[in-house]
Amino acid sequence: MSLSNKQLISEHFSKAAASYDGAAQLQLAVIERASKYLTLSTKSKVLDVGCGTANLVKFSQGNLYQGCDISQGMLKTAQHKVATCADYKNNFRQFNFEQADAHDLPFADNSFDVVFSSLAWQWCDLTKVIQQAYRVCKPGGQVVFTTLLANTLVELKQAFVALDTNNHVNNFLTIEEVKQQIAQAEVTCDVLEVIDHQTHYDSVKALLKELKAIGANTVVNRDKSTGLTRAKLQKLENAYPRHSNKVTASWQTLYSCINKPLK
């Protein structure tokens, strides 16, 4: 992942920090589902990598919640939320936040009982970020993560073909590619569950607006500037498949759990 792509991701998420929670219903549902894999106690030290606005806190409890994210804007929103929201502030004894890149975590080896990450690693080199998460996880602890797979936003990708041959939507890994990257990280996943989620909109414009509101509008290695004129947007609306006059977006989501053995 190049520095310019990382900067772009960080900028888009920082711009989206204020609108994120209002638009991130799917992301919240994915965290709630993933949190069922967590084994937590009042003593647990939890690291949330790519924590965004710290939504994991709503579905977990423990001693320390350490959030880290590449986006300063997301961290600021998260800090404000855990200090002020009733659903959040009593779930952990202590909260810390730090700006950090998932590829190079600034934490000591074997320091967290749980390392969690939801819908952040589809922009990362998966082998590297898994190795980092595993390194900072204590023996006997767990790494739980979710990421997006190749069938995500396939309808949008297909509709863009009507416009040009440029890359307008990220390329997500297939489950086979994910398995290869996990093998390269030299860890064993105890859970690899693929769930297809769908979200519905009145128009493609509404879908694109939501992607921007959650900061997920970065296209890694975008070929050219691909601004949408009114005419292009209309072409996209016409090309997008509709059911009952609604636009549907698919989100193929992987839920995974790695239990780190006690030596």
Ligand X SMILES: C[S@@+](CC[C@H](N)C(=O)[O-])C[C@H]1O[C@@H](n2cnc3c(N)ncnc32)[C@H](O)[C@@H]1O
For ligand X, give the closer residue by CB, 120 or 185: 120
Question: Binding to ligand X by residue 256, rule CB under 6 A?
Answer: no
Question: Binding to ligand X by residue 147, rule CB under 6 A?
Answer: no
Closest separation in Å from C-beta 230 to ligand X: 28
Within 8 A by CB and 6+ apart from 155, the residues are 240, 241, 247, 248, 249, 250
Sketch the per residue contact string, 96 through 135, with ligand X: x for CB under 6 A, - otherwise.
-----xxx--------------xxx--xx-----------
Closest separation in Å from C-beta 5 to ligand X: 9
Give the footprint of ligand X on residues 164-223 (CB under 6 A): 214, 216
What is the Cα–Cα distance from 24 to 109, expressed in whole angstroms? Answer: 32
Query: What torsion do the CA atoms of 52, 156, 222, 99 make, to the nearest 10 degrees?
Result: 0
For ligand X, give the closer residue by CB, 151 or 235: 151
Number of neighbouring beta carbons within 10 Å of residue 8: 17
For ligand X, give the closer residue by CB, 2 or 230: 2
Q: Are 54 and 85 in contact (CB under 8 A)?
A: no
Question: Binding to ligand X by residue 51, rule CB under 6 A?
Answer: yes
Of 64-72, 155-163, 198-206, 236-244: span binding ligand X (CB under 6 A): 64-72
For ligand X, give the closer residue by CB, 10 or 252: 10
Of 46-54, 135-143, 156-164, 221-229: span binding ligand X (CB under 6 A): 46-54
Question: Binding to ligand X by residue 44, rule CB under 6 A?
Answer: no
Angle at CA 11, nearest 5°, toward 109 and 249?
Answer: 95
Of 44-52, 169-177, 192-200, 230-238: span binding ligand X (CB under 6 A): 44-52
Under the rule (CB under 6 A), what is the footprint of ligand X?
Answer: 9-10, 13, 24, 27, 31, 50-52, 55, 69-71, 74, 101-103, 118-120, 123-124, 214, 216
